[in-house]
Amino acid sequence: MHNLEPSLHHDTPPTEQAYPKKQRNWVPAVLIGVAIAYLSLILFIPAINVFVQAFSKGFGTFLQQMTKPNFLHAAQLTLMLALITVPLNTIFGLCAAWAIARKKFPGRALILSIIDLPFSVSPVVAGLMIVLLYGRNGWFGPFLEAHGIRIVFAFPAMVLATAFIAMPFVAREVIPVLEEAGFDQEECARTLGANEWQIFWRVTLPNIRWGLLYGVILTNARVMGEFGAVAVVSGNITGKTQPLPLFVEEAYKQYETSAAYSAAVLLTMLAVVTLIAKEILERRTSNRSGVH
């Protein structure tokens, strides 16, 4: 319902008709100009630069960079990370959202604000926590070493670090949708004899699907792009524990600019796809609430 009012205002632009004298015409033009200039310096030019740099030596060089073994390994590792971490975080996020939105328990408000912690804590500090916990001198270090399990400077720690960093996305997107949907439909299903599992699949999930999908997309973008936390825990060994973002930095430091930009283009495309998906989902959810 909230969406209705501003959109009505948009249909009848009051600026020209209602106050012909007060509104100075150059003000909007100047403000728009300043906004676009600022965005160009900070955002547009750097974004365009990625593509120009990557394709400046022709498409052939770009393709050639993409077939190098270190690059392929980095891309593979990034995909693996996403394939494991995203489902993990989705399940956790759903559970957390359900618990917070549906159950009243002591410390609920505290949990609600603590769940944002991975957003505000530095990724490097997040990585440090993982090292302190699972590293050789860490809490679980001796136990892990005794059993020959290697976590830090290996793939498992990278999963843990990215899972930590991207933890809040799903829960944050799902909680408001769950709260808005309310209990009624689920209660109704229960009185009609549905079991918990049926209620989740047939009632709850369809209600929250767009919010959930949005959360999953954001999680995926963060997981594939995470740098700081992964840099701390992975050891950054080229061809072994080096996902794409770390490959970009390493290549740049080694003055292999075209390799760096080829990988950067892939990651930028990921960001572009994420933004497009987000736009589509937002349109969908706003249409739905408009119908109500």
Partner 1 sequence: MLFVPTVAMLLKASTEGPINFWRIATSEVALSTYDVTFVTALLAGLINGVFGTLIAWVLVRYNFPFKKIIDAVIDFPFALPTAVAGLTLATVYSNNGWIGSLLVPFGIKVSFTRLGVWVAMVFISLPFVVRTVQPVLTEMERDIEEAAWCLGASQWQTFWRVILPPLMPAILTGVALGFARAVGEYGSTVIVASNIPFKDLIAPVLVFQRLEQYDYSGATVIGTVLLAISLLILLAINLLQAWGRRYA
The interface with partner 1 within residues 155-194 (CB under 8 A) comprises: 160, 163-164, 167
Based on CB atoms, which residue is closest to partner 1, 27 or 83? 27
Residue of 24, 104, 147, 292 interacting with partner 1 (CB under 8 A): 24
CA dist list (Å): 199 to 173, 175, 184, 193, 219: 20, 17, 12, 10, 26
DSSP character at residue 154: S
- Contacts (CB under 8 A) with partner 1, residues 109-138: 113-126, 128-133, 137-138
Q: Tokens for 253?
A: 């430091």
Alpha helix segments (H runs only) across 68-167: 69-102, 108-114, 117-120, 123-134, 141-146, 155-165
Contact window for partner 1 (CB under 8 A) among 65-73, 98-106, 142-150, 253-261: 253-261
Residue 123, CA distances (Å) to 108, 209, 253 in order: 25, 29, 21
Nearest residue to 163 (alpha-carbon basis) of 247, 229, 96, 95: 229
105 or 197, CB closer to partner 1? 105
Q: How far is the CB of 217 from partner 1 (least distance, A)?
A: 9
* DSSP type of residue 115: T
Cβ 137 to partner 1 shortest distance, Å: 7
Stretch that binds partner 1, among 23-31, 170-178, 197-205, 284-292 (CB under 8 A): 23-31
Q: Considering the rule CB under 8 A, would residue 26 count as an interface residue with partner 1?
A: no
Residue 238 near partner 1 by CB under 8 A: no
